[in-house]
Amino acid sequence: MKNWIQAFSVIDFISVGILLTAVAMNAVKRLESCVKIYTLNSWLLSSLIAIVALMVGEPHLYTASAATLLGKGILIPMFLKRVVRQMRVTHDVEPYINNALSLAVSGILVAVVYASLRQGIFVSGFSKNVLQISIAVILIGLFVMITRRKAITQVIGLLFMENGLFLAGFSLTYGMPIIIELGVLFDMLMGVIILGIFAVQIKRAFASSNLDNLTILKG
């Protein structure tokens, strides 16, 4: 079993796939596609955990994988899709800077991360490359958060950051105790629901979910 994981470098492929979905966030123009890309990212994350679980044979990793798939891969995307549908109009992401430039910036971010963590400082985990990729995903998530106008895309940026953090923790420690992971997952679900409701409320109050409107004081 371990042989084919090693032979086809499955872990490398999946982790690069996770990075690629994060970079692709910068290229898409529609809110639905953002949600789809996030879903793909979560599925890849879940399958990475499952593969590592197969490799090291730790039973609690299977639970983590299943919880990730259920929470981040199914429940949160379903809810986000509902929110996007509730807001009805304007599918556009409306970034502050155009797509080509934000793609370039995300490429540079990845380069900076790779260059600064070149030597694989923490080599105790299952792969010395996953930490770099996870930090790159965190930074790209942050970048997405600060360059998008819509409330929902900011939520998705936050979710990408969380996925990156989860991956970083996982790559260093083979996963935290299951109780903590479940707690984090539950918190995040709540957070997304609250933010989603907020987004819909902002949309109702201002007839647009553009966060620039919130800078004007109302009195």
Contacting positions for another protein (CB under 8 A) = 8-9, 12-13, 16-17, 19-20, 23, 27, 98-100, 103-104, 106-107, 110-111, 114, 118, 129, 132
Closer CB to another protein, 100 or 214, in the complex: 100
Task: For residue 35, give the H/E element and its range.
Answer: helix 31-56
Smallest distance from another protein to CB 120, Å:
9
Closer CB to another protein, 74 or 142, in the complex: 142
Q: Residue 126 carries which DSSP code?
A: S
Smallest distance from another protein to CB 121, Å:
13
Name the burial class of residue 189, with classes exposed (0-12), middle (13-18) and buried (19+) by CB atoms within 10 angstroms of its CB.
Answer: middle
Smallest distance from another protein to CB 128, Å:
9
Closer CB to another protein, 27 or 180, in the complex: 27
Say how many Å lie between the first and final Cα of the chain, rounded.
65
- Output the 3-class SS for 54-121: HHHCCHHHHHHHHHHHHHHHHHHHHHHHHHHHHCCCCCECCECCCHHHHHHHHHHHHHHHHHHCCCCC
Could you give the count of Cα atoms lying within 13 Å of 147 in the half-sphere of its Cβ? Answer: 19
Smallest distance from another protein to CB 114, Å:
5
Closer CB to another protein, 11 or 61, in the complex: 11
Closer CB to another protein, 142 or 189, in the complex: 142
Q: In whole angstroms, how far apart are CA 149 and each of 25, 60, 82, 125, 153?
A: 14, 39, 19, 37, 8
Smallest distance from another protein to CB 168, Å:
16
Closer CB to another protein, 26 or 209, in the complex: 26
Cβ contact 175:61 at 8 Å: yes
Smallest distance from another protein to CB 133, Å:
9
